[in-house]
Structure formats: structure tokens, C-alpha cells
Structure 1
Amino acid sequence: MTRILYLSRNIQRICSIKNEAEKVLFTSCCFSIFLSVVRVLHTGKITFLSLCWNLLLAFVPFFMSRLMTRNFVHIQNKWLFSVLFVVWLLFVPNSFYIITDLFHLSEWHATPLWFDLLLIMSFAWNGLLLGILSIRHIEKMINVLWSVKNDWVLIYPIMFLNALGIYIGRYWRYNSWDIISNPFELIRDIYRIIYHPVQNKEVWLMVAGWSIFLSLLYAGLKKMSREVE
């Protein structure tokens, strides 16, 4: 536990973390990394070490929205903000994608099942929190610029795109970088499921289910945070 706190404090110092909620989040992320290291040392295999990379990708939209929030006075031009918002939107699905790593839970038995469940759940939980906090940053800035009266008008479309991103990443094995490196093939595949919705109904059922769940999760956590303030 001492090593986890030491690692967390060093990361917080490097990233200039002073917010108490962010301190707890960073400590939780360090705990996840600690669990992955323990598994590698115990098994001699790097089976779940990719979770650390996925968590790093989840930090990209969080740090981006955090930086935008801290420098909002310089990006209040709506066109500039819109460009940054689109870039952020391409990366934010990475925060929620870690949930699907639970698919791998029963594939390896080198460690007790409860340990692998704890390992994956801790990464998934931290990814969810990073995504939710990042979306909250963006929501606050959009409300300043455009005064959105209904939260769902903003939140559900974002969560719908997140759910679509989860499907694209898990089943088609695309990632955020493919927007630049392989855009035409990605667009072609997305066009195919839009043009043939009935043949791809399982895709849309998954996207609809996850988008509703993520929207309710976000709304619930936001309401609860207000209740305890």
C-alpha cells in the first residue's frame, strides 16, 4: 500500500493534481497498475498488461478536457472549441472501452478467478470515471458557450458515439488512430451498418443498450454528487 501511495503522489506532483477527487482517482489507477504488476510477477506472463495501455488511452481525453477547462478563457471562440471538441470526441470512447476486457475473464487460469475479476474491474472502473469526469468537463464548457437547457440533448449523443466506438474497437479492432491512418476503410464499414440496419441489428442493439446504460450511469453519478454537496 505504501508503494501505491508513493507512486500516486509522484504522478499527482508531476500532473499538478490538487483536486481531492482527482487524487483519489489517481490512487485508484495506481492500485490497478499495481495489481497488473503483481500478476506479471506471479505468472511470468504479460497477459493483462495491455490494460495499462488501455488506461493510458483513457487518460488522453481526460487530460485534454482538463487542459481545456483550465485554459477556457483562451478557447472561448466557438470555432476553436468545436475543433477541439471533435478531436476530444475521437478519443473519449477509449475511456469506456476497458469495460469490454471483462470478455477475457475466463480465458486464463494462471491466477485465481477473483483476482482477475478484481484486476479487470479496477481498470474498467477507473476508465469509466475518467470518461465521466472528462464528459463533465466538456458539458460545463458547452453550457457556458451555448446554454444547453436539456442535459440529455448533449449527453445521450456523446454516449451513443461512445457505445459505437466500443463496438468498433472490440469487434472491428479499430482504434482512435485509424481515423487518420485508415479513414476510408473505417468510413466504409460504418456506412455498411448504417445502410443495412436490419442485417446489422445486433450491432445497433448493442450500441443502443450500452448508450442508454452509460447515459444513466453518467446522470446518476452527477445527481448523486450534487446530493452529497
Structure 2
Amino acid sequence: MKLSLIQKPIHFLLLLSGICCLMLVWRLISSESLQYSFMAWNLFLAWVPLLIMLFIQNYEPVYVNKYVVIAVGLAFWLLFLPNAPYIITDLMHLRYRKGYTLWYDCLMVFSFASVGMYTGLYSMLLAHKLVNRLFGPSFGWTLILGSLGLSGFGIYLGRFSRWNSWDLFLQPHHLFMDILRQAFNPAALKLSVAFALVMVLFYFVFLSFIQLAKHESAS
């Protein structure tokens, strides 16, 4: 039996995102608190790299060379990519919870983190396919593995140094200075590598499931 939602991943991700938002609305109403309202913003940021890739994929050159748009688009995609897996680190907020709401909060935050990760993985798949088609498989894997390594470092900067993607334009000097400091911080490097390895693992599992789905649909 074919699952039509799998053939339309954007619709599937929109559905999952909607479910997450409904969970959040119920949490805000039942608790009469805005404590977890930031989850909606974080999920939106997780969608940004995917929206960038969808724009590049459907771009029709008019006045600007297509390769210039692709290069600039991939740069912005890489800049915002850490926001997708970053939601996993929001699990740390659960340590402040007590009582019966802990279990609902666990399910809600885990759902947001999962959808954020899936959204990022799909954007990576689109980037991978695009670069493979234009420049070959070797360059494609170089882009993906390099972006995963940089994203691991980006997650660390976001969680521990509290930088945002747009700070590259708002506070470039302070951001670069902190990047230089953290580049020689053993704890930062260890956590960045850990984040990157987890994302590599997730991406390979993601590719495996895609291959399995293709095999099942062909049989």
C-alpha cells in the first residue's frame, strides 16, 4: 500500500507542524502561561532553510545568473540550517518541570524537536540533490558533511553563546570574535562534534528510509 503523504513531504511536514502547534496552543491555554511560546518561533526558524531550498529549486532566472542565486541561496541555507536541529536542545527546559505536566511537556517538546529535525533533513536532501546534479556526487557529499560539521558548531553557538543566525549581519564583529574564542575551547569543540555526529547519523538513517520507500513503491 502506498502512502501518498510520503510522496508529498511538504504536506506531511506541514501536517506535523500543525499538530505541534495545536499541542502548544493546548499547553498555553491549559497552563495559562506563555512559558513554551518560543517553541513556535523555533519551529518557524527550522522551516527557513527548507523554504530557501524550495525557492532555489523553483527559481527561474530573469535578471540574475542562476548560479549566483544558487550560491547565495546555499550560503543563506547553511546560515539558517542549525536552527532545524537546534530544537533538540530545547529538551533541556524539561529539567525545570515537575508533576503531571512533565509528561505532556516531554511529548510536546519531543514532537517539535522531531519535526524540526525532519524539516532540516529534507532541506539537506534537496541541497544534496541540487549540488549532485550541478557539480557531481563528490562535491555533493563534501557540501553535506561540511554543512553538518558547521551546523554542529552553530548549534553550540546558539545554545551556549546565545547567538542567532541574523547576528551575522547585526553584530558581525562580536560574533566573529566569539567564534574565534570558541574555536579554541575544548568543551565547545567536543559538543560541536557530538552535535555534528548525531546529525550525520540522522541523515544516513533518513537516506536509508528514502531508499526503502523507493524500493517498496517499485515492488
Number of corresponding residues:
209
Corresponding residue number in structure 2 for 1:6? none
Given that residues 156 and 212 in structure 1 are in contact (C-alpha distance below 8 angstroms), is that contact kept between their aligned partners in structure 2?
A: no
Amino acid at match of 1:220: V
Corresponding residue number in structure 1 for 2:77? 88
Equivalent of 2:145 in 142, 145, 156? 156
Corresponding residue number in structure 1 for 2:167? 178
Corresponding residue number in structure 1 for 2:217? none
Give the 3 Å change call, closer, same or farther, for CA 150–181 of structure 1 in structure 2.
Answer: closer
Q: 1:68-123 CA deviation, whole Å, 9 max, x = no partner?
A: 11226778743332122111111111111100000011213375211000000000
Distance in structure 1 (CA, Å) of the matches to 2:6 and 2:52 = 17
Equivalent of 1:212 in 197, 200, 212? 197
Give the 3 Å change call, closer, same or farther, for CA 151–216 of structure 1 in structure 2.
Answer: farther
Amino acid at match of 1:223: S
RMSD of aligned Cα (Å): 2.1
Aligned partner of residue 138 in structure 2, secondary structure: coil
Amino acid at match of 1:218: Y
Aligned partner of residue 149 in structure 1, secondary structure: helix
Amino acid at match of 2:114: W
Corresponding residue number in structure 2 for 1:30? 18
Equivalent of 2:131 in 117, 137, 142? 142
Amino acid at match of 1:224: F
Corresponding residue number in structure 2 for 1:221? 206
Distance in structure 2 (CA, Å) of the matches to 1:55 and 1:165 = 16
Q: 1:174-202 CA deviation, whole Å, 9 max, x = no partner?
A: 101100000100000111233xx3xx111
Given that residues 52 and 76 in structure 2 are in contact (C-alpha distance below 8 angstroms), is that contact kept between their aligned partners in structure 1?
A: no
Corresponding residue number in structure 2 for 1:203? 188
Q: 1:122-156 CA deviation, whole Å, 9 max, x = no partner?
A: 00001001100111111111111111237542222
Output the TM-score relative to the length of structure 2.
0.88
Q: How does 1:46-125 map to 2 (within 5 A)?
A: 46-71=34-59, 77-109=66-98, 111-125=100-114
Distance in structure 1 (CA, Å) of the matches to 2:8 and 2:25 = 26
Kindly, what percent of the aligned residue pairs are identical?
A: 29
How far off is 1:19 after superposition?
Answer: 5.5
Task: Select between 68-77 and 117-126 the one with higher mean Cα deviation.
Answer: 68-77
Given that residues 132 and 140 in structure 2 are in contact (C-alpha distance below 8 angstroms), is that contact kept between their aligned partners in structure 1?
A: no
Corresponding residue number in structure 1 for 2:158? 169
Distance in structure 2 (CA, Å) of the matches to 1:217 and 1:18 = 18
Q: Unaligned 5+ residue runs, structure 2?
A: 215-219
Distance in structure 2 (CA, Å) of the matches to 1:155 and 1:203 = 21
Output the TM-score relative to the length of structure 1.
0.85
Distance in structure 2 (CA, Å) of the matches to 1:97 and 1:129 = 12
Q: Unaligned 5+ residue runs, structure 1?
A: 1-16
